[in-house]
Amino acid sequence: MPSVWIDPELLEAREALAGGLSSLNFDDMPASRAALAAVLPPISPGESVDVQDRMVPGPSGNPEVKLRIYRPSDSPAAAVLPCLYWIHGGGMVMGTLDGENANLGNIVQEVGCVAVSVEYRLAPEHPHPAPVEDCYAGLVWTAKHAGELGINASRLAIGGASAGGGLAAATALLARDRGAPPLVFQYLVYPMLDDRNLTPSSHEITAVGIWDRATNLNGWKALLGDQAGGDAVSPYAAPARAANLAGLPPAYIDVGTADLFRDEDIDYAQRLMQAGVPTELHIYPGAYHGFELAVRSRVARTARTLRLAALKRALGG
C-alpha cells in the first residue's frame, strides 16, 4: 500500500493534533473527555458576537436538549437573519458546545447569520438513535421559534464537521423523510458517513495519527454496538446507507486526500449529484482530518475562504 502524502505545511500541526488524541481510550470515555478538556484552553466566540444558551424540549427519553445561539452583535435587534444549525464533531463519542465557539463566532460575523449549536448525547453511553434524535429535536425547535430568535425560517441550513457532518447529513435525511423543517443547504466538512469501513481510504489511513482506521472502527462500535458494519444499520446512523438521496437540500462537502473519510465523502457527493442534488465538492491534496487547525497553511486558508463563500451563497438569497 502506498504511503500517505501529507502537505509539508501541515506536518507541525499534525504532531500537535496526534498528541492531543493519544490519550483517547474508548474503554473509559468519561476519563478521555476529561483529559481532553484539561488540555484545551477556553475558547471565546469573540466580542462582536452575542451568545445565549437555551434548554429546549428533547426527543423521547431525553427531556431537554441544550442549544447555544450566536448572533452578530452589530445586527439590529429587529433584523431577521438566515441561520446555520451546527452539529459539533468528535467521532460520536466526544466534543462540546464550547469547542465550537471560535468557529461559529467567526461564521456569524463573516456570513451575517445566526448560528445555533446543539449539545447532543454522546456514545457509548447513548448509542444510536440518541445523538441524531437530539439533533433533530433541536432543529425542529429552532425552526418553530425562528421568529423569536430573529431567524428567517426560509433560510435555514444545517452543517457540521466530522461526526457532526455525518449527523448533519443524517438529520437532513430525517427532515426530508418526516416532512419538516425545510432546509436550504447542507454544509458537510469531512463528514463521517459510513460505518462499513470498506473504502480504499478507510484501509489506507492507518497511521496518520488523527482519526485513523482503528479509531474510526471504535467510534462506530460505540454508536452502533455489534450492529456496526452489519446489514441492519439505519441511514439515520450512517447516511452512506441511504438508498435514495433525492430531495435533499444542496450540499457542500470537502475532505483531504490523507483523511480516512476521503472516499466515502467523494462517493456521497457523487450520489447526491446523481440524485439531482446540487453539490459542491472540494478535495485537498495532502490534507488530513482536521487540517484547518494549521491556520497559517495555504490549504487551510483556501478551505476557509471556500467554506465561507459557500455559506454566503447558500444563506444570502
Q: What is the rounded distance in angstroms from the CA atom of residue 19 to the CA atom of residue 295?
A: 18
Active-site choice (88, 126, 128, 289): 289
Q: Would residue 34 count as lying in a domain? A: no
Active-site choice (88, 117, 126, 162): 162
pLDDT at 194 over 60: yes
pLDDT at 317: 53
Lowest mean pLDDT among 41-45, 63-67, 238-242, 271-275: 41-45
CB 235 within 8 A of CB 166: no
- Domain with 138, as residue range(s), is 8-20+49-315
Concatenate the DSSP letters of all residues of 232-257 into one string: T--TTTSGGG-S--TTPPPEEEEEET
Distances (CA, A) of 41 to 37, 114, 162, 192: 8, 25, 21, 26
pLDDT > 70 fraction of the chain, expressed in percent and rounded = 99
pLDDT at 68: 98
- Mean per-residue pLDDT, 173-191: 98
Q: Is 259 a catalytic residue?
A: yes
Distances (CA, A) of 114 to 85, 126, 249: 8, 29, 19
Confidence band of 35 (pLDDT split at 50, 70, 90): confident
Lowest mean pLDDT among 17-26, 56-65, 264-273: 17-26
pLDDT at 48: 93
Q: Would residue 257 count as lying in a domain? A: yes
Distances (CA, A) of 231 to 195, 196, 203, 228: 11, 9, 20, 9
**The dihedral of CA 222, 227, 231, 237: what is its sign?**
negative
Domain of 297, CATH number, reads: 3.40.50.1820
Q: Would residue 36 count as lying in a domain? A: no
pLDDT tens digit sequence for 16-28: 888 888 889 999 9
Distances (CA, A) of 185 to 59, 125, 169: 24, 31, 10
pLDDT at 1: 47
Q: Is 162 a catalytic residue?
A: yes
Number of structural domains in the chain: 1
Structure letter (DSSP) for residue 154: E
Confidence band of 78 (pLDDT split at 50, 70, 90): confident
pLDDT tens digit sequence for 234-254: 999 999 999 999 999 999 999
Q: Would residue 61 count as lying in a domain? A: yes
pTM more than 0.95: yes
Active-site choice (7, 259, 263, 265): 259
Confidence band of 312 (pLDDT split at 50, 70, 90): very high
Q: Is 145 a catalytic residue?
A: no
Residues 6 or more apart whose Cβ sits within 8 Å of residue 8: 286
Q: Would residue 42 count as lying in a domain? A: no
Q: Would residue 44 count as lying in a domain? A: no
CB 161 within 8 A of CB 236: no
Q: Would residue 38 count as lying in a domain? A: no
pLDDT at 122 over 50: yes
Which residue has 466534543 as its cell numbers? 95
pLDDT at 99 over 60: yes
- Class of residue 41 by CB neighbours under 10 A (exposed 0-12, middle 13-18, buried 19+): exposed
Mean pLDDT computed over every residue of the chain: 95
Of residues 2 and 124, more confidently modeled = 124
Q: Would residue 108 count as lying in a domain? A: yes
pLDDT at 41: 76
